[in-house]
Amino acid sequence: MEVYQVFEAWRHVRKAKNTRGLAWFMANEFCRRFYASHGIVPTVIDKEGLGYYGIRLDHVQCSINGGKTETLGRLTMAGDVENWLRGEPGDHGLRLTRMCDEGAETNELIRLAIRHLAIPAKPEKSHLSCRHKRWGLAYELLFSISTLIALRNEDEVEITNNDYNTREPLSVKDPEFGMSEHLGGFMFLRDGSMVLVSGDGRYIEPSKPGNLWQRYMEGETASGLATEIEGLLRKAADREPD
């Protein structure tokens, strides 16, 4: 089961525990549509060390964007949508969580969220030469894998692609960290254990042969790759201390 189907299953058990699923699902929809073409990336908010606080929608720091990051808005922790260009932080604007609870169709939720952020279907300038354009599908795969893990693991697994969290370990362990417009990475944490993957699909920690994007292109599924990361986290968490 891939992201859409897993989200549909999540909707039926939402009231049990998990409250982050809608935000991650919608962020994945924005990533799929606008990361490569527009240079818009959903970024997990780590609020002053308090942990997960929703997901921002940022312009990436590419040459077309002048190396500057502009935040378009936010998906709150539960999934409401804030447009920061015509509103402000705290103004939830679109009460997507209520609509989800009331049974609105998933496709309608997606359409309303995109319309609320008012992102044009065509970018104002071409990002053809940007690294996020060339490697966009790999990054989108990693975001889909992260979304599957978020939907399937309630609060047991922390997930972030925030530069604040990933930059230091990537700078130390990723031999390609110095490349222009580095895609960043995704960090998965459980009970003190960590899996770190670069935005183009390479395992950084633990070191493993093969690239997740390459393996996906060779026939593996996003769900299967998410299961692998979940297994690595469980294995590390269960390992006896030396």
CB atoms within 10 A of CB 139: 26
Domain carrying residue 232 = 3-238
The pair phi, psi for residue 142, each rounded to 5°, is -60, -35
* Nearest by Cα to 147 from 222, 39, 46, 233: 222
Average pLDDT along the chain: 87
For residues 123 and 114, give the distance between their C-alpha atoms in angstroms, rounded to a whole number.
14
Mind listing the pLDDT tens digit for each residue in 207-237? 888 899 999 999 999 999 999 999 999 877 6
For residues 199 and 224, give the distance between their C-alpha atoms in angstroms, rounded to a whole number.
18
For residues 122 and 117, give the distance between their C-alpha atoms in angstroms, rounded to a whole number.
14
pLDDT, position 125: 82
Mind listing the pLDDT tens digit for each residue in 6-58? 999 998 876 544 589 999 999 999 999 999 999 999 999 986 555 678 999 99
How large is the C-alpha radius of gyration of the chain?
17
Its pTM stands at: 0.92
pLDDT, position 49: 57
Q: How many residues does the chain have?
A: 242
Which carries the bigger pLDDT value, residue 135 or residue 201?
Answer: 201
Number of domains in the chain: 1
For residues 180 and 167, give the distance between their C-alpha atoms in angstroms, rounded to a whole number.
14
